[in-house]
Structure 1
Amino acid sequence: MTCHSAAKSRNWLSTDMTQTLDILDRLIGFDTVSAKSNLELIDYVTDYLAARGYSVRRITDPSGAKAGIYAETGPDGPGVLLSAHTDVVPVEGQPWTRDPFRLTREGDKVYGRGTTDMKGYVASILSLADRAAQADLREPLKITLSYDEEIGCLGIQQMLDRLAPMIGKPRACFVGEPTGMQVAVGHKGKAALRATCHGQNGHSAMAPQFVNALHLAADFITGLRAIQDDFAYNGSRDMAYAVPYTTVHVGKLAGGMALNIVPDQAEIIFEYRHLAVDRAEDILPRLQKAADRAARPYQTAWRGARIDVEQYNAYPGLDVQDGNPIIAYAKRLAQRNDTTKVPFGTEAGFFDGLGIPTIVCGPGSMEGQGHKPDEYLSLQQLGDCDAMMDRILDDLKAQ
């Protein structure tokens, strides 16, 4: 193991665990913040898998600066798909006490950007890939790695039309976002939206004679808060979530050029995160109606007053129904008796949308370590993930 350690290696580390840590050390060393290229990491993974006899196919983004991969080994058949993303969130402005792109071990934890979200899981996949290459498999092991997950699951959306024919119909897909190795059977879907509010320029000394775009924005935000209150007090409930209802959130408001100029345009960036029962196709028209209601009073003063609502990104939720065989299968592999749902989004809904039974299960805590300075992963969690990988391998082996 080449990572820098503040403690001696514990004798309970298995050979496979040591290999996983060596791989993780390499992965953390690649600065794959979403704004940067991930090609050096993809080259490393491609070479690693190809050297072990895997069929590896690269799926590049439109710019050619990023790529995902699909790899498999073993005979034809459904098999099991393991999915992860390669990008990480930025470290700028965070008070790190360690080099974020150099794996550091201290006691029973390893530190570095992406240890939890989600290069620890990627390292466990690659460690399994080595063992699987030496095994007699009756079904294939399938692996996919994506890019730009951290900026709204953009990479998997660009990959999906090329990826879907490659992966076929695995009997199970495991997306390894950090769940503390719990079996997560659901998360909300999300849409990101932009509202452009159109008003009139004018001198502020005569402000009442003009339609102020920021006033439209303020009234629309009030309408969004009313929709949020309706979801909170009258909407559907799923008590598996900490916030058990659909949410509407305004994240950014911008507008105006100078204090003495009435602004003719304002922009609102907002989102909704919805339960499966609250259909996305019903929510967007409701938001546009709220925008029209906010603009209508201003149209008596100026007919051009309006608010345009545009959805610029979205990803589906996940809602695995009770009784789906994937739940019992995942519980057995993860050695868990219960399930959970997570508050954050993942790529799982895209695989579920292809008709592939999908759950989310991976090492680490998003709430505790994800996106934070001095991000870390406990060796116990990584060991539990490796153990789950061993059970997947046993299940794929010829009997």
Structure 2
Amino acid sequence: MSFMQAQVVLEELIRFNTISHLSNHAISEHVAECLRTLGFDVEVTTYTDRKGVLKVNLVAKREPLAGAAPSELSGGDEGLSSETPASLSAGKAGTTPGGLAYFCHTDVVPADRWSGPGGDPFKAVVQGDRLYGRGACDMKGSLAAMLQAAASVLASEQTEPLWIVCTADEEVGFEGAKDLVQCSKAYREIVAANPVCIIGEPTELQVVHAHKGIMGLRVESRGKAAHSSTGEGINANLAMVPMLETMRGIDEQCRIDPGLRDERFDPPTLTWNFGVSDGMSSVNIVPDHCVAWACFRTMPGVDGLDFIDTVKQRADELGIEFKEFSGGPPLETPVDSPCVEAMCELAESVIGPNQPARKCYATDGCIFEGLTKRIVCGPGSINQAHTTDEYIELDQLEKGVSLYKSAIRRFC
């Protein structure tokens, strides 16, 4: 198996428009068939999102198997079923709990202002040492690297199982991961085995053992629209002004309160962020609604829940609507864990000396709290994620294949 095949796999994955408000059924069908070709059993679970769009999660498992032959990554005619999923087999003879589980998401952020070469975010373009396309970095490049790595190791060489998990809706509240935890029998098998888990988000292949969580809220005040000359309207902004003062106070407290800091992160604060809009574009209409929101990044031991309560209480006092958005908790695997040390050792042969890091973004890996050996590690730079000319360096893709292959051999 060559690196060039990983590039071809990535180009094919980018071809699927999987912006989060669309269904990821087609790409899931494609990936499932690739995995079956590589000897994986595949569990499919589906759900309908809040807008009635079909979403798909996959859990694929390859057990050690004597006499397995090499397989090529290729498409096929077998489709996904939205019927009740079949559970994957567990505990086959000769296997013991452990192994490796890889997690990724198949949705991407919008590409309305795409500025990359070629003009089409869903048609990969190679220019110089970069491959451009929506999802190239976040995180279809990572999935392509793992598929290539899995194709490079035979099931007959395995002594432990290998799982590959693909979720939907990571970019919109980790909804796919949450559904997987609730509904997937195969996921519960992973929890029972408690393998080393790689969350394949872009880290330039640096080993990340901890990251912040994320929480959010929304408040809305309502008034009465009228021509501004009549004096008969009720300006919805009036009720929001004291709420914004409350939010400003929280922002200041988050920045100066030493009890709300974790110096192991940079920045070491909850990074409270808030905004407001009444949606009006004309000065002669009294605004009849106003919406404010806040988002903040939690840390181990610093959850910010008191601020949620403060905003809710203030909203009740002002008679405005309040809604909390559940994001995800922080992720932290102890830095001295054997799995962290082992991954750093493997990464050193690919990217050179490295130390386990903490990051301030969040991944849907934080939802998989039943798993105690979670590590974030993937090809590509977070600086390229969500950009209007998203790309992955081909060298990163190649090194990603190499590192994932080494991880499979180490843990499986």
TM-score (norm 1): 0.85
The answer as to whether partners of 1:191 and 1:273 remain within 8 angstroms in 2 is yes
Give the aligned partner of residue 11 of structure 1. Answer: none
Give the aligned partner of residue 361 of structure 1. Answer: 377
Q: Amino acid of the residue matched to residue 61 of structure 1?
A: Y
Distance 1:261 1:389 in 2: 59
Structure 1 residues 22-37: aligned runs within 5 Å: 22-37=8-23
Deviations 1:189-245 (A, max 9, x none): 1122111224566775675x9864212212211211111111101143233433210
Give the aligned partner of residue 94 of structure 1. Answer: 114
SS in 2 for 1:21: helix
Deviations 1:295-328 (A, max 9, x none): 5xxxxxxxxx413321133222212333233321
Give the aligned partner of residue 239 of structure 1. Answer: 263
Give the aligned partner of residue 114 of structure 1. Answer: 135
Report the alpha carbon displacement of residue 258 of structure 1 after superposing the two structures with TM. 7.0
Give the aligned partner of residue 68 of structure 1. Answer: 57
Give the aligned partner of residue 5 of structure 1. Answer: none
Runs of 4+ in structure 1 over 4 Å off: 198-207, 255-264
TM-score (norm 2): 0.82
Give the aligned partner of residue 140 of structure 1. Answer: 161
Give the aligned partner of residue 253 of structure 2. Answer: 230
Q: Amino acid of the residue matched to residue 332 of structure 1?
A: E
The answer as to whether partners of 1:186 and 1:342 remain within 8 angstroms in 2 is yes
SS in 2 for 1:192: strand
Aligned with 1:376 (options 375, 391, 400): 391
Aligned with 2:33 (options 47, 60, 64): 47
Give the aligned partner of residue 340 of structure 1. Answer: 357
Distance 1:254 1:203 in 2: 16
> Does 1:189 find its partner at 2:213?
yes
Q: Amino acid of the residue matched to residue 346 of structure 1?
A: T
Deviations 1:55-102 (A, max 9, x none): 101111225622110001114322111000001111112323323222
Report the alpha carbon displacement of residue 52 of structure 1 after superposing the two structures with TM. 2.4
Report the alpha carbon displacement of residue 260 of structure 1 after superposing the two structures with TM. 5.5
Give the aligned partner of residue 153 of structure 1. Answer: 174
**Range that drifts further, 261-270 or 320-329:** 261-270
Distance 2:102 2:58 in 1: 12
Distance 2:147 2:204 in 1: 20
SS in 1 for 2:194: coil
The alignment yields a C-alpha RMSD, in angstroms, of: 2.4
Report the alpha carbon displacement of residue 150 of structure 1 after superposing the two structures with TM. 1.2
Give the aligned partner of residue 312 of structure 1. Answer: 325
Report the alpha carbon displacement of residue 21 of structure 1 after superposing the two structures with TM. 1.2
Give the aligned partner of residue 9 of structure 1. Answer: none
> Does 1:266 find its partner at 2:290?
yes
Give the aligned partner of residue 344 of structure 2. Answer: 331
Deviations 1:247-271 (A, max 9, x none): 2222442267975665454222322
Give the aligned partner of residue 218 of structure 1. Answer: 241
Distance 1:176 1:382 in 2: 12
- The alignment-based identity, stated in percent, is 29
| Count of aligned pairs | 369
Q: Amino acid of the residue matched to residue 250 of structure 2?
A: I
Q: Which runs of 5+ in 1 are unaligned?
A: 1-14, 296-304
Give the aligned partner of residue 18 of structure 1. Answer: 4
Distance 1:102 1:198 in 2: 44
Report the alpha carbon displacement of residue 161 of structure 1 after superposing the two structures with TM. 1.2
Give the aligned partner of residue 150 of structure 2. Answer: 129
Report the alpha carbon displacement of residue 280 of structure 1 after superposing the two structures with TM. 4.5
SS in 1 for 2:396: helix
